[in-house]
Chain A
Amino acid sequence: MTSHKAKISSGNVGIVIVSHSPDVARGAADMVRQMVGDAIPLAWCGGAPGGGLGTNVEAILSAIERAWSEAGVAILVDLGGAETNSEMAVELLPEERRERVVICDAPVVEGAVMAGTEASAGSTLEQVRSTAEELRAR
């Protein structure tokens, strides 16, 4: 996997996709890149360290690092452990970064595209989160 961080210098909110399945995470990230474009930092992780389905805190931390933006990072998760491990990863971040990371309560694929679209326009972290979560309210 390549890091997109090097070529992106925009101040836009970053997006992290966390799925139990690396295929789902990679596929969702592909959709964001193709539909939204290159204007946002984007990273994904998924799968257990030994292979198979799962999520783990270290991989999530690394993805947050790759997608880091001063404007913050919005995380999209699929099920159960993806959310709890993401929460754990956020707690392990340096204090000054912790407040600038949110986990969105939204479907992972659709939420990632919505959040990415909002982020690409230079919106704040809170706007990005609420756009992703608006899907759920409809």
Chain B
Amino acid sequence: MDNAPMTFSATGSVRIEHEIGLHARPSVKLTQLAKTFGSKIEFATSPEGPWLDAKSIVKVMGSKTPKGSILHFRAEGPDAAAAVEALVALVERDFEPQADA
């Protein structure tokens, strides 16, 4: 993480209800979704950080975030708000594909 001041225009948080937490399959889905946005997107399990790159499968899976954790997102860029909204929605629907997809 760099220490340069950076503002994040969009933030959001959501509780992980998935039985095994942010393990292999949910991690892949979260990373794949994050990568569809142009914005810089970070996640953390505490509002104080550490903040990690949500587009890095190694970082996401490596976080080993358990069930019941609050996952925080922050994003900066042209589609920051849409990115945070989509990621929160993914966790809320327990990493299942979108119903209308």
Q: Interface residues, chain A, CB within 8 Å of chain B? A: 34-37, 113-114, 117-118, 120-123, 131, 134-135, 138
Contact = CB atoms under 8 A, between A and B. Distances in A.
Contact of B58 (A34, A37, A114, A120): A114
B35 A35 contact: no
Contacts, number: 34
Contacts of B57: 113-114, 117-118, 131
B32 A117 contact: yes
Nearest to B61: A114
Nearest to B59: A134
A131 B58 contact: yes
B28 A113 contact: yes
A113 B32 CA distance: 12
A135 B55 CA distance: 15
Nearest to B55: A121
Contacts of A114: 57-58, 61
Residue from the set B32, B56, B58 with the largest chain A CB neighbour count within 10 Å: B58
A121 B56 CA distance: 11
A113 B24 contact: yes
A26 B43 CA distance: 33
Contacts of A135: 58
Given A121-B35, A121-B36, A138 B28 contact: no
A36 B28 contact: yes
A123 B62 CA distance: 20
Contacts of A36: 28, 32
B13 interface: no
A116 to B, nearest CB: 8
24 contacts: A35-B24, A35-B25, A35-B28, A36-B28, A37-B32, A113-B24, A113-B28, A113-B57, A114-B57, A114-B58, A114-B61, A117-B31, A117-B57, A120-B32, A121-B35, A121-B36, A122-B35, A123-B35, A131-B56, A131-B57, A131-B58, A134-B56, A134-B58, A135-B58
